[in-house]
Amino acid sequence: MQPKDNLQTRKVNALAELGEKIFLDRYAIKDAKKETLSVGDTVVVCVNLKTGQREIGTVERVDRENHQVAVKLRDGTIETRAIEHVDKPLETVPEQMFERIARHIASVELTEELKQEWEGRFRELMDDWKYVPAGRIFTGAGTGQNLTYYNCYVIPSPQDSRHGIFDTLGQMAEIMSRGGGVGINVSTLRPRYAYVKGVNGRSSGAVSWASLYSFVTGLIEQGGSRRGALMLILNVWHPDVLDFINSKREAGKITNANISVGITDDFMEAVKHDEPWDLVFPDNSDPLYKDHWDGNLGRWKSLGGKVVKHKTVRASDIWESIISSAHASAEPGMYFIDRANYYSNSYYYADLPCTNPCGEQPLPAWGVCNLGHINLAKHVDFSKNDVDWNKLKRTVQDAVRFQDNVIDATPYFFDENFKQQISERRVGMGTIGLAEMLINLGLRYGSDSGVEFIDKLYQFIAITAYETSVDLAREKGAFSQFDAEKFLQSGYMLRMPEYIRHLVRSYGIRNVTILTQAPTGTIGTMVGTSTGIEPFFSWTYFRKSRLGVHQEHIKLAKDWLAVHLGQELPDYFVTAMDLAPEEHVRVQAAVQRWTDSAISKTVNAPEDYTIEQTKKLYELMYDLGCKGGTIYRDGSRDEQILAVDHNKLGKDVAEQINNQKAKAETVLSTPPQPTPAQPVPEPVPAPKSASQPQMIRISPRKRPDVMHGSTYKITTAYGNLYVTINEDEHGPFEVFSQLGKAGGFFGAQTEAICRMISLSLRSGIGLPDIVEQLKGIRGPDPVFHNGERILSLPDAIANVLENHLKRGQVELPLDFAKTVEVPKINPEPIFEAVTQELRGVGNAFVAQKVSVANNGHAPACPNCGNMLMMAEGCMKCDNCGWSKC
């Protein structure tokens, strides 16, 4: 077929500036060898080598002799970069990508006639962004590269042995090295202190091995594109569950994974009635243990396997521990594991022990995420103020066939994934643009009328999808594990209309599951609509560019205000934080009713939301039929905008200085040898009191106009840290730092630390004393630099200072010609000096609550440095489109 490329089509598929950048940078095919690069080409150029910031431009000059390219950016500036930092997309408009994908996905049809028909249908499906396949499909389909079209995987729970644990580690690492996310349920691993017969020792427990998986995930991220993602689940009956619940709040445990507790129905009943709860684990001396223990406790008991009761606690104590941790840091999440398996169409041949990292896909061992998204915002009939039901029906029908074809078109790296997926043909078709559709129809997200509409909408999508899968079974055959009577007894099929059940019984069905709701941060941002089933996060946001920071508005709100001059947005224009948390849950439950898989969604709550309210909200989530969920309380994690409070900043830093009081007393009370070249500061008397007869104020040494120094580069978890140490004739005088990647909070943190160090050096504190205080401070994301373990940003700075001393650059003490011995030091003058020094830090943020900033999760986007936000159970960036999921 000839490409459908005309001006009208291009206008329909046009993207805004950010969307175009995402398309060209992430999804368009590139000229990898730069052989066709020439003047006039549209390119993506890296304008900041430290942060990786990329911009769109046009080639002005190509200097192949010197391997350089001059690019004119959209703002008119010229950037000259090495050729390797310039990418030339071979696809410059979305239509070219659509053609490539449609042709490839249709190529698995059985006849030439069908191939041609469905190439056209799939091409039309994607036009106007009515249907948006997952990013991996955009990236890989039809490129000829051996790239998988699946984003995430669940792998088998590790066998409870050293070999089993490390086999799972190898599988996880292999998948992550290819950019895939992984889910693992670690409930198969014996609890802490359990006897290990083979080595006559005791086990370190499930959480310690979970920490290993988390640690390796961090290593893979540091070495690659930071796309590795890990979900770890431990079931609520496991003896280590309390340790697991608190693992994200303890330094050095699980830091590079999402965690969820597998919640069973009998546990929820025990919570409801405040009953005792046994923490149990199979008897590992049982002859059945080695070959039959797979993490399913119910099946183990049915086989007659012995169970050891390790401890009895009150179910409410575990529940409150989960709630308290979730209230503080949004983790652990909850996976209602019995419910997920009861409503699973595959219940009779495969357990769903775990979800993918974002939680929308409960999967069997070796199951995969096969994702695509209907853009609901493109299915509104404005003339009728209603859904264009006929258009939506055709989109659903074509999308189900599209995703079913993906199963046959994608490469597979693991035979186990191929066997599993071919035998069940699992599809995950979801939606984007729900919030935009509701606004266009004048319905408030979360209201009674809004929830009633959502129920009707998603029932229509589900019924159409199942009708289509039945038609595909009649044409191509049902999935090989299909058993009509068992399939129809799943909890999901029992709620389906009888005529759908009749169709399935009569003709079979092509796909074991069809529907999901995935996080769509990058794709939703590219297309310019609300992501997943989430409301818009905010009507305004800030974008950083070479020209500064600019406030921008969501187009939907901007267009409405342009037509309704002088008016405020109506009440159905709501954002995530405008909604009551219960409204979030009601929407999630309405969508879950008609979704055979699960949902990735964030329930946003205000900062003053209490632990008791959080508890009731999770109970509401369970009572309304959700399969899991995450509650994010504003202020509970560092991935929010931290409040500026200069007064508190001064006090917090002063408290740190006060810890150095004993050392400062020694410096001030011990007469050093005078140095002629050193200016002598005059003592400043402090106010007299009964307890404090006389004080001294320190005057820091003045800075010379010219200084010499050394700059050191060291690796940290947040990018390369560059530390500059300047000296005068008396030794180290000041320290500066530049954090290459993170920016935001951690950039401010390192600048604050270095300003403190500089003030201390200029005030007579010895460099070894400073090193002693900073060295060894632990963070959750340690890295290795030249064979040394760097524990945190303060530890990295201490490492540089220590190595500077070892090179023979010996610092000299600040000398005083006159000293006054005093019994006690008043820290207030030091507070004042520090506060004055730090007021120059423009973005000195202070977390008002205990923040997991201290646990190593940076609030800034690793791609552009903009502030991240939490939506769909996932962190994403509105500035550049980066998404953690």
The answer for residues whose C-beta is within 8 angstroms of residue 300's C-beta and 6 or more apart is 282, 288, 292, 293, 294, 307
Q: Rounded CA gap, 106 and 112, in Å?
A: 10
Residue identified by tokens 């009761």 is 309
Strands 152-154 and 181-185: parallel
On whether the CB atoms of residues 872 and 531 are closer than 8 A, the answer is yes
End-to-end CA distance of the chain: 35
CA dist 481 and 487 (Å) reads 10
Residues 6+ apart with CB under 8 A from 240: 191, 192, 205, 206, 207, 234
Distance CA 63, CA 60 (A): 10
Catalytic pick among 46, 152, 354, 358:
358
3-state secondary structure of 49: coil
Quote the CA–CA distance of 311 and 809 in Å, as a whole number: 58
**Residue 143 Cα distances to 99, 101, 136, 148, 410, angstroms:** 12, 9, 11, 11, 11
- Geometric angle at alpha carbon 219, from 217 and 225, rounded to 5°: 85
> What's the DSSP call for residue 682?
P
Secondary structure, 3-state, 832-852: HHHHHHHCCCCCCCCCCCCCH
Q: Is 788 a catalytic residue?
A: no
> Do 504 and 493 contact (CB within 8 A), yes or no?
yes
- Spatial strand order of the sheet with 371-375 comes to 131-133, 371-375, 428-432
Gap between the Cα atoms of 501 and 463, Å rounded: 10
Catalytic residue list contains 152: no
Our answer to whether residue 17 is catalytic in this structure is no
Contact assessment for residue 207 and residue 249, using Cβ atoms and an 8 Å cutoff: no
HEC sequence for 110-163: CCHHHHHHHHHHHHHHHHHHCEEECHHHHHHCCCCCCCCCCCEEECCCCCCCHH
Catalytic residue among 356, 375, 826, 863, which? 356
Contact 601, 630 (CB under 8 A): yes
* Cα(362)–Cα(4) distance, integer angstroms: 38
CA distance 768 to 802: 7
Longest distance between any two alpha carbons in the chain, whole Å: 101
Q: Which of 20, 99, 221, 360 is catalytic?
A: 360
Tokens representing 783 are: 């890295």
- CA 466 to chain CA mean position, Å: 32
The Cα 457–Cα 851 span in angstroms is 39
Please count the CA atoms within 13 angstroms of the CA of 846 that sit on its side-chain side. Answer: 13
The conformation of residue 24, written as its DSSP 8-state character, comes to I
Q: Are 822 and 669 in contact (CB under 8 A)?
A: yes
* Residues 766/768/773/774 CA torsion (nearest 10 deg): 110
Integer Cα distance of 761 and 667 in angstroms: 12
Q: Pairing state of beta strands 783-785 and 788-790? A: antiparallel
CA 596 centroid distance within chain = 24
Q: How many CB atoms lie within 10 A of CB 352?
A: 24
In terms of Cα–Cα distance, which of 216, 222, 221, 210 is closest to 253? Answer: 210
Residues in the chain: 885
- Residues known to be catalytic: 356, 358, 360
